[in-house]
A and B are shown apart, each in its own frame.
Chain A
Amino acid sequence: AQSVTQLGSHVSVSEGALVLLRCNYSSSVPPYLFWYVQYPNQGLQLLLKYTSAATLVKGINGFEAEFKKSETSFHLTKPSAHMSDAAEYFCAVSEVNSGYSTLTFGKGTMLLVSP
Chain B
Amino acid sequence: GAGVSQSPSNKVTEKGKDVELRCDPISGHTALYWYRQSLGQGLEFLIYFQGNSAPDKSGLPSDRFSAERTGGSVSTLTIQRTQQEDSAVYLCASSLIGSGSGDTQYFGPGTRLTVL
Q: Which residues of A contact B (CB under 8 A)?
A: 31-32, 34, 36, 41-46, 49, 51, 90, 94-108
Does A100 lie within 8 Å of B108, measured CB to CB? no
Within the complex, the shortest CB–CB distance from B62 to chain A, in Å, comes to 20
Is B99 part of the binding interface, using a Cβ–Cβ cutoff of 8 Å?
A: yes
Whether A100 contacts B42 in the complex (CB less than 8 A), given A43-B110, A44-B107, comes out as no
Whether A32 contacts B102 in the complex (CB less than 8 A), given A43-B110, A108-B42, comes out as yes
Of B43, B55, B56, the residue contacting A90 (CB under 8 A) is: B43
Q: Provide the B36-67 mask, 1 if CB < 8 A to any CB of A, else 0.
A: 00000011010010100001100000000000
Whether A96 contacts B101 in the complex (CB less than 8 A), given A43-B4, A102-B48, comes out as yes
Cβ of B107: which chain A residues have Cβ within 8 Å of it? Answer: 36, 43-45
- The main secondary structure of chain A at its interface with chain B is strand
Q: In this complex, what residue of A is CB-closest to B100? A: A101
Given pairs A36-B107, A94-B103, A99-B55, 5 additional interface contacts (CB within 8 A): A42-B110, A43-B4, A43-B6, A49-B102, A96-B101
- B87-116 residues at the A interface, CB under 8 angstroms: 91, 93, 95, 98-110, 112
14 contacts between A and B (CB under 8 A): A44-B93, A44-B107, A46-B106, A49-B102, A49-B104, A96-B99, A96-B101, A98-B56, A99-B55, A100-B99, A101-B98, A101-B102, A106-B42, A108-B42
Q: How many residues on B have C-beta within 8 angstroms of the other chain's C-beta atoms?
A: 28
Q: Tally of A-B residue pairs with Cβ under 8 A?
A: 67
Within the complex, the shortest CB–CB distance from A60 to chain B, in Å, comes to 13
Q: Which residues of B contact A (CB under 8 A)?
A: 4, 6, 31, 33, 42-43, 45, 48, 50, 55-56, 91, 93, 95, 98-110, 112
User: For the complex, what is the distance from the CA of A105 to the CA of B35, rounded to whole Å?
Assistant: 11
Whether A46 contacts B56 in the complex (CB less than 8 A), given A102-B45, A103-B45, A107-B42, comes out as no
Q: In this complex, what residue of B is CB-closest to A99? A: B99
